[in-house]
Amino acid sequence: MTFEDPIAAQADDAQFPRLANLDVVTQILESGTDAEMEELRAFHDLSPERLALMRFFAQQRLAVLKQMGEQLAIREVQNPAASVDEYNMGAFAESIEPQVRDAVLTMRRKGFQTMSSGYGDYDIQSINFDAVPNMAAYKPSSELQALLEKQNIDFHSDESTVWFSCRTPLSVGDLKIVWDAIADDLPDQGQGAGKSKMSAAEFFQALQDEFAKRREAGVTLHDIKDEISMRYRGKHLNED
């Protein structure tokens, strides 16, 4: 399956058919009617089994994101100071999908500068990172291969990504077991990843720096978020 850019694909015409729009497909998989599901299946020539698997993971992802939003809101109020690992990563752990959360932290400690992680196209999971040359030669250990086979997973990796596709439904807990095993199996680069330089991470770090200065005065993250956002945007506009 391939999808068009959601903005470009708004027009329902021969060039950008509606059912090639990723947003439309996601909405149907999450909550579409039986008739919409059948239309989607026919358009992409999917087997009923593949369509059911895609719906399973789309709905699982939706539930995970809802739970994450609730957990992050609580974290920002009850424990707003980032740990060293979170500061370097540029995000609270609650911002990372639970099935990849520990794996991302493990990989960062091993020297992988992670950029994105979690659900991909429905039955696909991935973690992306700055290119690591020795990953080109990486082969999963026999122990990891046995786990992947047991869980009906097709695993792939290259210099900047590890990812897998699921042939059968897996719970969030089972996905976490797989990701933790993958992270443990990956080669250690000899030193930690250090501070992320992604723009979202740098904003998080700036917010934490300011919060550390002003928390004794009773300031909350919410109080200073807009201020730091404006300051951060202005800084980058001046640099451009």
Amino acid occupying residue 181:
A
pLDDT tens-place string over residues 163-190: 999 999 999 999 999 999 999 999 999 9
* DSSP assignment letter at 110: T
**C-beta of residue 22 within 8 angstroms of C-beta of residue 3:** yes
**pLDDT more than 70, % of the chain:** 90
Worst-scoring range by mean pLDDT, 127-131, 135-139, 232-236? 232-236
Q: pLDDT class for 231, splitting at 50, 70, 90? A: confident
**112 to each of 107, 131, 196, how far by Cα in Å?**
5, 8, 10
Res 83 pLDDT > 50: yes
Whether this model's pTM surpasses 0.85: yes
pLDDT tens-place string over residues 51-77: 999 999 999 999 999 999 999 999 999
Res 12 pLDDT > 90: no
